[in-house]
Amino acid sequence: MLRLPAPIYDAIIAHARRDHPNEACGVVAGPAGSDRPQRLVEMLNAAASPTFYQMDSGEQLKLWQAMDEADEEPVVIYHSHTATEAYPSRTDIALAFEPQAHYVLVSTADPDSVEFRSYRIVEGVVTEEPVEKVDKPETDAP
């Protein structure tokens, strides 16, 4: 199950809507090994395409270096689908290189509603998981 703080959940949807008709993409970082999404990083879709996303390689390198330095990892990797349902495409599955990450897809195909779904993608196997929008992020504090 993906437990996502409400501000991050809402920001992912806002990013997807803002970038429509092109696909939006980004990462939510969290402490390594924690499975706690805490820091949203919107990424540039270098493909600038309504049917494909490609994180800008320079931005992605800087983000991965910053996460390494902060002992973080990508807890969520997200992107939008602008004309289809929020389900991973063959390309999405082939490019899922972070087995610990939740892969979130947001469909902006219907301008009156948003489809928000999360998956685990490990060695080409796609497993949908529930998403819980929570008011407060989880912390290490009691």
Sign for the CA dihedral angle at 37, 43, 49, 50 comes to positive
Q: Which residues pair with 39 in a beta bridge?
A: 29
Quick one: pLDDT at residue 45? 97
Tell me what the pLDDT averaged over the chain comes to: 95
Sequence-separated (6 or more) residues with CB below 8 Å from residue 80: 15, 16, 19, 20, 23, 24, 25, 53, 105, 106, 107, 108
CATH of domain 2-134: 3.40.140.10
Instruction: Give tens-digit pLDDT for 16-71.
Output: 999 999 999 999 999 999 999 999 999 999 999 999 999 999 999 999 999 999 99
Among 127, 140, 113, 103, which residue's Cα sits nearest to residue 27? 103
Confidence of residue 138 (pLDDT cuts 50, 70, 90): low
C-alpha to C-alpha distance for 43 and 111, rounded to whole angstroms: 22
Mean pLDDT of 92-107: 97
Quick one: pLDDT at residue 136? 74
Quick one: pLDDT at residue 141? 47
Confidence of residue 140 (pLDDT cuts 50, 70, 90): low
**Count of CB atoms situated within 10 Å of the CB of 24:** 25
Sequence spans of domains, the chain:
2-134
